[in-house]
Structure 1
Amino acid sequence: MATLVSAAGAWVPSLWGDEAASQLSARRSLPSLFHMLQHVDAVHGTYYLFLHFWGKVFGYSAFSIRFPSALAIGASVALVVWMCARVSSVRIAVLAGISCAVLPRLMYAGGEARAFSFDAALATALCAIVIEIAVRPGRSRPLWAGYGVLLSIATYFFIYTGLMAIAIVAFLLLTPSLRHHWRRWLVASALALVAALPILVLAYLERAQIAYLQAGGYASWDVVLKQLWFGDTRFAWVGWTLMAAGAAGAVGTAWRLRGSLTRSTLDVRVLALCWLVLPMGLLLLANIFFALFTARYAAFAAPAAGILIATGIDTIAQLARGRARRHAWVATAICIILVLGVVAVAVPNWAAQRGPYSQNQSDWNEIAATVHAHSRVGDAIVFDADARPSRRTRLAYDTAPPGAFGPANDILVKTPFHNNYTWYASTYSVSQTAALGRFDSVSRVWAVEYSTPPGLTAPKAPDTYGLAALQLIGFHQAASYRLHASVVYLFIRNS
């Protein structure tokens, strides 16, 4: 169900800058990919390598490269259901599965061609291994070995997922029956850290890639309270209320069972709290001193939020059952009502995430459709190079399937993306291209400029990259098409 929820409509939105990096990196030859990773995006290299082989089989269309993310969310939800059923009940397991399947952060990750859904699945798998260690103490040694291997793999997918080791040791120390495992945790975690050293070193050397986070605003209260997991204000109110109820239930149970070393002290709510609070808390604290955080990085902790929402629903239902006494059906009715409420506030988020411009306001499909509809054989096309790399309109051309832009020919390209040291192509300016003689036989030129999407608080005029240069070499503007986040101009050579 979770896979279907995430995959449905994932073909609708245009790709955007980060997804372009995924697609263009995956489409490279392996030597080209490894060469690029020595300069940029090493922290995403494992995901790009996976996507390279996936695309060889299933192609590199928007839906094709997004579908593995939906599968990863399905795996994460399946693991959540599994481990909740192991230490709680099937009722809580099903509630947790539904909550995670419709949690906006996970739905978004499941519809985007980035590794964040894999991070959630790997973090959940680490927790599931620890739960198995708890319920099968006689087989802990191979399970701890598997934990160490998986922690190293998770760190290669996303280095922040390595913080799950801290969440897990906190859970061990807070669970009396598991405290004696801390030594095996230490050995397994240390070996995983050693195995992950190459990616940690490369991440440090390429840290300039996240310098844009220094602009601030990526860890505001609005981000923390709403955008990390919930998407909008309505879901945030519901989510935080139910999570608080789940946390309160965990505290109450811990108080009643204090001093007990029985299996009943295993509480998935305690694991979820450690998983949710500690990695995110450390990242947000570090972000005060070094800009290294944005909301999408929280995806690996999102399943914990789903678990707490589910246990909150159960806590409220059981309280109502206790008050109703003879009317056991009251708890079931309240569970159903609360689940339907969670799904109801999730639906607007899902719809917003599957709109045509939902991926960072990108309108690349619209650009391609406009040029395709109006272009002729012999037309040239130039793209805005003033926008930051992830917003450059050229990416619409490079990521589009063959023929999407009609006969229009890209004539500014200097080094194609697959031969460049970074993930995108390098280009000549309009003047340099004219000096190379590439405009000599061209009578019509399409110019695609980035423009601030509507609804933003600080709108700006569309970029004008190359327009003056086109006029200088003998072209004049004949038409313009205002799109969602771009403007497409047609220039015709003067008579």
Structure 2
Amino acid sequence: MVSSWARRPEAGRTEAVAVLMPVTVMLAIGLWGLDRGGMWRDEAVTFQVARRSVPQIWQLLHSVDAVHGLYYLLMHVVLTPHPGEVALRLPSVCGAAATAGLVAAMGVRLCRPRVGLWAGLLYAVTPMTGHFAQEGRSYALVAAGVAGATLLLVRALRTGGWWAYGGTVAVTCLLHEFAVLVLLAHAGTLALARVPRRMWWRWGCAAGAALLVLLPLALVSQGQSAQVAWLPMPGFGSADRLLRAFAGPRQLVFVPYLVLIALALRSPLARRGELTLRAVALPLMVVPPAVLMTVSRFWPLYDERYVLYALAGAPLLAAAGAERLVAMVPRLALSSLSGVLTGVLAIALVFVWQLPLLRKDRIPDRRPDNLAVVSAVAGRELRPGDPVLFLPSLVRRSALAYPNGFRGVRDIALREPGPVSGTLYGQETNPGELRRRLDRLDRVWVVAEPFALRPAWYPGSATERLKLAVVGEEFVPREEVARRGVTLRLYVRRSAPGGGDASIYAHRAAP
């Protein structure tokens, strides 16, 4: 419930400060090092798809990535005026800042301004938040949508406005369909608050409308489920890593954070129909990850980025626990300002302690790969007219994201580029035609994922198998440049001058 303190004349100004300060801090953290000098593979997909025309994006979604369709259309609008890495990531920064403000607003609405301030600041300084604030993907925007929907749920339970709630849930689920799990969290909130039956009915109508909007996307994406076939089955380690990501991976932050959450959960049971911070935050933090992990024991779908939005519940609980702790100290409890400053100082220390993690996260090598470096290496090694074979075809993403390094080379296997064929990386030619093209070559550069050069790899595509067979049987490697995530290898035909049967080649690590 909103305390009597919050109804003083100066309450509006205080509440505004409690909301705007976390927004400002999150913006500063998100903008820090935003142009880190290279996109990684997932960001590169966003970048190259969003720069296609709307009909080309629509054509692509029929075969792949339907789950990201609305996000790609949004990014098409963002990137059309000035495509670049900063523009690519800026919506995520804004989404993270909005989420920090919405988390603070929930704390203000459900408890008091200082609880909202602490919760918003805790959200802003969490390394997981900072990481996804700088990703050119939809997850930070989804988190903002879920936080907004949760705040609208609080408002709807008190004053109405259910269609605004349902519309926000629907749009958020269209940004990423796994956001639908927030409906289960909200059902948990209604159960903990023990709301009357009429509230369940109104919520059910709004939730049902959102599900109807989501249904077509769910049916289409079901046919594209092979895209997540790489996801492993989660175990206890997955739950532990997610909890540490929510609370902060450093032990000196993690343990006190859990203590504060435990204090919040020890609060007395609310009266029937009373909406408390615990009833909102606990299901939000626990239900979506728990449900997705449980389902993933049978059908692996879990990844921590898919439940980033559940992070909003953790700082709310920790801030509520801090409020109880402050109430136990008479000197702090009597002085509102002293309590606020003590909490802000503690969060500042949390930020300083985790600052090395935030700094490391802004280094390009912290991502799985850096396609800008791959393109730079290609630009040093390849010459106009050089034949290039991408193995497998998805390695072509580096050439699509940063084409300058591959300018003028001949893509031997490509039949139709991605925008024309309605695919992410282009449509490759059939094995017969590829064989004829390779027969005319005495040398070819192979740009490969490291796993593709291992003997145990057996691709499902006939074209990929032909690449391996011809290069392995009729060519020998003569030069190699390795970079984390990709290998460039020059092959020379055995019968060509300088060929022969030897497979000794010069190996160089890319700078």
Name the structure 1 match of 2:163.
145
Report the CA distance between 1:5 and its aligned residue: 1.5
Inter-CA distance 312–13: structure 2 relative to 1 (3 Å threshold): farther
Residue by residue over 1:353-395, the C-alpha shift from the partner in whole angstroms, topping out at 9 and shown as x without a partner, is 2222222x2132222111212333332332221xxx7xx4321
Please show how residues 19-418 of structure 1 align to structure 2 within 5 Å: 19-59=43-83, 61-134=84-157, 137=159, 140=160, 143-175=161-193, 180-213=198-231, 215-216=232-233, 219-227=234-242, 230=245, 234-235=249-250, 238-239=253-254, 241-252=256-267, 254-255=268-269, 258-259=270-271, 265-319=274-328, 321-322=329-330, 331=339, 334-359=342-367, 361-385=368-392, 392-400=394-402, 402-418=403-419
Conserved 8 A contact 1:384-1:463: no
Identity %: 23
Report SS of the residue matched to 2:199.
Answer: helix
Deviation at 1:345, TM superposition (A): 4.2
Counterpart for residue 445 of structure 2: 446
Please state whether the residue corresponding to 2:229 is helix, strand or coil.
Answer: helix
Distance in 2, matches of 1:220 and 1:14, equals 32
Structure 1 residues 482 and 430 mapped into 2: Cα distance closer, same or farther (>3 Å)? farther
CA distance in 2, matches of 1:467, 1:199: 37
Q: How many residues align?
A: 464
Distance 1:110 1:83, change over 3 A: same
Deviation at 1:162, TM superposition (A): 1.5
In structure 2, give the amino acid aligned to 1:183: W
Instruction: Name the counterpart of 1:479.
Output: 479
> Judging changes above 3 Å, is the alpha-carbon distance between structure 1 residues 437 and 294 closer, same or farther for their aligned structure 2 residues?
closer
Q: Which runs of 5+ in 2 are unaligned?
A: 1-24, 459-463, 498-511
Deviations 1:3-56 (A, max 9, x none): 332233233264333333323322322222222212222111111111122221
CA distance in 2, matches of 1:489, 1:431: 23
User: What is the CA distance between 1:184 and its match in structure 2?
Assistant: 1.2
Instruction: Determine the C-alpha separation between the residues in 1 that align with 2:219 and 2:88.
Output: 28
RCO (CA 8 Å, sep 6+): is it higher in 1 or 2?
A: 1
Give the drift of 1:477.
Answer: 4.1
AA at the equivalent of 1:54:
V
Once residues 446 and 349 of structure 2 are traced to their aligned partners in structure 1, the CA distance between those partners, rounded to angstroms, is 48
Q: CA deviation at 1:469?
A: 3.4
User: Does the CA-based 8 Å contact 1:43-1:159 persist in structure 2?
Assistant: yes
Structure 1 residues 150-208: Cα deviation after superposition (integer angstroms, max 9, x where no partner): 11111211222122222223223322577752221111111222222211222323233
1:15 aligns with 2:23: no
Distance 1:447 1:132 in 2: 58
Q: Which amino acid aligns with 2:49?
A: S
Q: State the Cα distance separating 1:341 from its structure 2 match.
A: 3.8
The 1:481/1:367 distance shift into structure 2, 3 A limit, reads: same
SS at match of 2:446: strand
* Change in 2 beyond 3 A, CA 1:36/1:228: farther
Amino acid at match of 1:447: V
Letter in 1 for 2:365: Y
CA contact (8 A) 1:69 1:111 kept: yes
Check conservation: 1:229, 1:305, Cα contact below 8 A: no
- Local SS of the residue matching 2:60: helix
Alpha-carbon contact 2:114-2:340 (below 8 Å) kept: no
For the 8 Å contact 1:152–1:193, the answer to whether it is kept is yes
- 2: distance between equivalents of 1:328 and 1:87? 18
Give the deviation of 1:439 after TM superposition: 5.3
Residue 347 of structure 1 aligns to which amino acid in structure 2? L
Task: Provide the secondary structure at the position in 2 that maps to 1:196.
Answer: helix
Any conservation in 1 of the 2:284–2:313 contact (CA below 8 Å)? yes
Kept after mapping to 1: 8 A contact 2:60/2:423: yes
1:482, 1:164 → 2: CA distance? 43
Q: 2:86, 2:456 → 1: CA distance?
A: 29
For 1:194 and 1:53, the matched residues in 2 are separated by: 26
Is residue 156–residue 165 contact of structure 2 (8 Å, CA) maintained in 1?
A: no
RMSD of aligned alpha carbons: 3.4
CA distance in 2, matches of 1:50, 1:328: 43
Secondary structure (helix, strand or coil) at the match of 1:403 reads helix
**Cα distance 1:357–1:426, how it changes in 2: closer, same or farther (>3 A)?**
farther
1:51 partner letter: M
Q: Does the residue aligned with 1:422 lie in a helix, a strand or coil?
A: coil
Q: Deviations over 1:36-78 (max 9, x none)?
A: 212222111111111122221231x333222211111111111
Contact 2:93 2:133 in 1 (8 A): yes
Per-residue CA deviations over 1:87-136 (Å, capped at 9, x if unaligned) read 3222222211111112233222211122111110110001111222355x
Q: Helix, strand or coil for the counterpart of 2:163?
A: helix
Q: In the superposition, relative to structure 1, how do residues 333 and 460 fare at CA in structure 2: closer, same or farther (>3 Å)? A: farther
In 2, Cα distance between the equivalents of 1:329 and 1:56?
47
